[in-house]
Amino acid sequence: MVRQTAGLSDSELALLRDQGFLLIEGLLDPAADLDPILAEYEGVLDQLANELHAEGALDSTYADLPFAERLVTVYRETGRTFAQHFDFTLPQQGIAADTPMWLGPAVFAALTHPRLLDIAESVIGPELYSNPVQHVRIKPPLAALASATDGGALVHKTAWHQDNGVLLPTADQTDMVTVWFSLTDAPVESGCLQVIPGSHRDGLHTHSVGAYGPQIADSDLKLDRAQPVPTRRGDVLLLDKRTCHGSLPNVSDQVRCSFDIRYSRTGQPTGRDQFPGFVARSRRDPASVLTDPEEWAALWYSARAQLAAATEPPVFNRWG
C-alpha cells in the first residue's frame, strides 16, 4: 500500500536526526512511479543491443528476453558492462562529446516527484535544489560479471563512504539529504544498502580512492554496528550526508536496480558545480522551478560539451 501522508512526522524526523537514516515504506507507487522508468531502460537496452549486434559484438539482439535476462546476456557475451548508458549523470573522468547518458522524462519525473519533494522539504526546507550528484545503479548478479571492477560502484558493491565525502569541500556546510529508492526489490542477497546508525555524528572521515570509488578504511568504522536495510519496490531510504553507508554485493540471481538522488538547499554549493542541478521546488519563487524534462536534458548535454572540450581535467573529488 502506498503511503498517504505527505512529508515526515515529527517522530520520523527525530529518528532521522538521531540515527542518520530513515526507511519509509511504500512512499512510491511501483506501477505508476517506477514502471515508467524501467520501461525507459528497456528502450536503452534495446538500442544498445541493436548497436552491439550491428558491430558484431553480439550474436543476437536477444529481443525476446525480458530486461534482466537480456542485460545479463549482453554483459556476459561482450564481457563488458554498460552502466554509463543508463546513468543520468556524467562520469568523473574521460568525458567525451558522445559520452552516453539517459535523460528521459520518467527519470525527470522521479527527480521532481511531489512525494519525494515533500520528504526533502521536511528535512531541509521549501527551497529545494535537485543536486546533480545522482545515479541509477543497475547491478547484475556478481556471477554474471567478467571483471571484478569493470563498471565500478554502479555495477558492483558500493564501498563504505559518506556522501559528504564524495563532494568537494565547498559543500561541507550545505544542507543536503540523500534519497535512495529501489526500482526492484533489494533484499540482502541482491545487494541492499547497509548503514552504520549514528555514524553521521562522528564527523567527516578521510576517504581513499578505491576500485569502487572513494572509501573509508574499515579500521575507521564501527562495523560491529553496521546493519543491512533491505527494501521493496517503492520504499525510500533517507540518509544524512555524513552517514557511513555502502552496499552489499549482489549474490542473487536477480538484477538489482536503484536510484540515489540528492536534494540541497537552493543557493548553496552542490559540491560538484561542473554538473547542472535545478530548482525543484520553491515557495519563495515558484517561477524558478524547472518543469520541462527537455530543458533538464539540455543542461546536461551542454555540460557534457563543455567538459569534453576542456583543456584541463575537472576536479570532482577532494581525495585525489
Q: How far is CA 318 from CA 163, 206, 276, in A?
A: 12, 10, 19
Model pLDDT for residues 262-316, shown as the tens digit of each residue: 999 999 999 999 999 999 999 999 999 999 999 999 999 999 999 999 999 889 9
d(CA 89, CA 107): 11
206 burial via Cβ count (<10 Å: 0-12, 13-18, 19+): exposed
The predicted structure's pLDDT at residue 149: 61
Cell numbers describing residue 49: 543491443
The predicted structure's pLDDT at residue 192: 96
The predicted structure's pLDDT at residue 244: 98
The predicted structure's pLDDT at residue 5: 76
Closest CA to 72 of 150, 135, 146: 146
d(CA 115, CA 62): 37
| Residue extents of the structural domains in the chain | 13-309
The predicted structure's pLDDT at residue 154: 87
The predicted structure's pLDDT at residue 148: 55
Closest CA to 135 of 24, 257, 270, 251: 257
Residue 196 has phi, psi (to 5 degrees) of -115, 100
63 burial via Cβ count (<10 Å: 0-12, 13-18, 19+): exposed
Q: 538521531: which residue's cell?
A: 18
Closest CA to 247 of 202, 182, 167, 201: 182
- Superfamily grouping for domain 13-309: q2cbj1_9rhob like domain (2.60.120.620)
Those residues of the chain that have pLDDT short of 70 are 147-149, 320
d(CA 205, CA 135): 22
Model pLDDT for residues 176-204, shown as the tens digit of each residue: 999 999 999 999 999 999 999 999 999 99
